[in-house]
Amino acid sequence: MKTQRHLVALGGSGGLGRDLTARAAYEGWRVTVLDLPASLAAHPHTGDSRAIDLRDPASVTAAFDGIGAIDGFVNLSGFAGPRKPLSETPLDTFDEVMGANHRGGFLATTAALPGLRAGTNPAIVTIASGLAQAVAPGFGPYGAAKAALIHLTKTLALELAPAIRVNAVAPAAVDTAFLRGGTGRAAQDVLIDTAAYTATIPLKRMATPADITGPILFLLGPDAAFLTGQTIWINGGAYMP
C-alpha cells in the first residue's frame, strides 16, 4: 500500500495557505497546518493543526515536536507592515518585518529538517515575493526580508543536496486578505490600489491563490525532481528577471 505523503504548511490558515492545503488534501497529501492561534481559530483546519509564533524560538521548536516524517514543507508565512518610506520606518517596525519573515523562516525551516530527513523525496518551498527584486517604494523592509529568504533558499539548496530539494516561488500581489493586513495580526492599511496595480499587469488581472498553489505543488512533486535552488517568478508578465 502506498504511504500517504505528509505536507506541513507554515501559515496554512491564510488565503493562499487554505487554497494550497485544500488542493494538497484533494491530491492525497496528509496536511498539517502551523499558524498563529488567532489564525487557526478563524480558519480551522480539518486535519492536524499546531499553534506557532515565529517570534518565539521555543514555540517553533514545540510546533515541530513529534510531527513525524515530512515529505513537503511550505513556508507561506509573511508580514509586510505599514507601507512607508524607509526614512520614516521606525526601527521596531523594521525589526518586526525582518524578524517575522527572514528570522522566522530560518527558525521554522531548520526546525523542519529532522522531519524532512525522515521523509521520502523531501522538498521545501519558500514563498518569497516579486518585491525581492522588483523594488517598489514603501516596501523596503518586506522586500529586503524576502530577498534574504531567496538567499536562504539557495544556501539550503546547496547545503542539503542531494537529500532535500529547496526552491522558492516569488509571486506578485495575490488577491487575498494579506493585502488588507493579513489574517493573524491586527488590521493595517490596504497595501496597494488593486485597480491601478492590475492595469500594470500584461495579463490584466490580479493573481489568485490557485495561480500560486499549482507551481508550489509542482515544486514538491516528482516532475520537479531535478530542480533545486530556483525561484519561480509568478506575476502575469509584470516582471521578467
H/E segment holding residue 92: helix 91-98
Q: Are 168 and 149 in contact (CB under 8 A)?
A: yes
| Other Cβ atoms within 10 Å of 228 Cβ, number | 21
Q: What percent of the chain is modeled with pLDDT above 70?
A: 93
Measured between alpha carbons, how far apart are the two ends of the chain, in Å?
A: 44
Three-state DSSP at 154 gives helix
pLDDT for 118 beyond 50: yes
Query: How far, in Å, CA of 175 to CA of 207, rounded?
Result: 6
Nearest CA among 80, 78, 165, 51 for reference residue 116: 165
Cell of 168: 522558492
Q: Write down the pLDDT at residue 207.
A: 92
Q: Look at residue 195 in the predicted model and tell me its pLDDT.
A: 84
Confidence of residue 46 (pLDDT cuts 50, 70, 90): confident
CA distance 112 to 41: 23
Mean pLDDT of 168-194: 69
C-alpha cell at 77: 508565512
The yes-or-no verdict on residue 137 having pLDDT over 90 is yes
Q: How far apart are CA 110 and CA 154, in angstroms?
A: 14
pLDDT bucket at 235, cuts 50 / 70 / 90:
very high
pLDDT at 159: 98
Mean pLDDT to the nearest integer, 59-74 = 98
What integer best gives the mean pLDDT of the chain?
A: 92
Instruction: Please tell me the predicted confidence (pLDDT) of residue 197.
Output: 84
What whole-number percentage of the chain has pLDDT above 90? 81
Summarize the confidence of residues 236-241 as an average pLDDT. Answer: 90
User: 79: how many CB neighbours lie within 10 A of its CB?
Assistant: 22
Domains, the chain, ordered by start? 6-234 (3.40.50.720)
Higher pLDDT residue, 184 or 19?
19
